[in-house]
Amino acid sequence: MSSIAENLERVRDEIATACAHAGRSRDSVALMAVSKTHPAEAVLEAIAAGQKLFGENRVQEFAAKREGIIDLQGAQFHLIGPLQSNKTTRAAELFDAFDALDSLKIAERLNATCATLNKRLGVFIEVKLSHEESKHGLSEAELPALLEAVARLPQLQLRGLMTVPPFTEDPEGARPYFARLRALRDANVAQHPTLTELSMGMSHDFRVAIEEGSTTVRVGTAIFGKRETL
């Protein structure tokens, strides 16, 4: 089995290759290491290998893990999983950004907590582009209204859009969803100039996502190995 450091190096190389292939500069794509279900030791190993950006799915899980990470060394953590309204305070305290925003109620609660913390929280709006029952995110039709509302909340900084396409064996199956998210970003960036980012692409399809304009790929399995749960 290869180490986390070796996996990170391999994924970084693959991102560089995908960028070159797509005619994009290497620094236009950030690598987010998705450390959900893995212990603090795994995060520390990645930090030691120079990783700065992490994604976690659950507030509770990260709260416990965070205690085992004494020295962040500048690492940033984004919440990339759904957030319940009774956990917004804890989430606002713990995370640098929330990448799966899909409701005004949650946005308003985060804004209120951030005001008391004197903190500005980055947000990505999660858009659900398929008709799958199980997926989180809001529909395309609901996006303009949430963008307008979030733009008026001073403690939240609108950064981009996020999506998780339905899983297909062939990563090409995700391409139309990635292209659609980019089109939505392009259609709204004039009105919302900070809406520049696209968080899309996971372990098995990040190469396709980079070809379609991803600015952050969220990679778990290819860095930390298979998860027992989730």
Ligand X SMILES: *Cc1c(COP(=O)(O)O)cnc(C)c1O
Residues that bind ligand X (CB under 6 A): 34, 36, 57, 80-81, 164, 202-203, 218-222
Task: Name the residue nearer to ligand X (CB basis): 155 or 223.
Answer: 223
Task: Name the residue nearer to ligand X (CB basis): 158 or 217.
Answer: 217
- Minimum distance, C-beta of residue 95 to ligand X, in the bound complex (Å): 14
Beta bridge partners of 123: 98, 158
- Minimum distance, C-beta of residue 98 to ligand X, in the bound complex (Å): 12
d(CA 25, CA 27): 6
- Minimum distance, C-beta of residue 209 to ligand X, in the bound complex (Å): 11
Task: Name the residue nearer to ligand X (CB basis): 109 or 218.
Answer: 218
DSSP character for 85? Answer: G
Task: Name the residue nearer to ligand X (CB basis): 182 or 218.
Answer: 218
- Minimum distance, C-beta of residue 152 to ligand X, in the bound complex (Å): 26
Radius of gyration of the chain (CA): 17
Conformation bin of residue 16: beta by default, left when phi > 0, alpha when psi is -120 to 50 = alpha
Residue 224 near residue 33, CB atoms below 8 Å? yes
- Minimum distance, C-beta of residue 204 to ligand X, in the bound complex (Å): 6
Residues 6+ apart with CB under 8 A from 229: 37
Task: Name the residue nearer to ligand X (CB basis): 184 or 202.
Answer: 202
Instruction: Name the residue number minimizing CB distance to ligand X.
Output: 220
3-class DSSP state for residue 3?
Answer: coil
d(CA 6, CA 42): 13
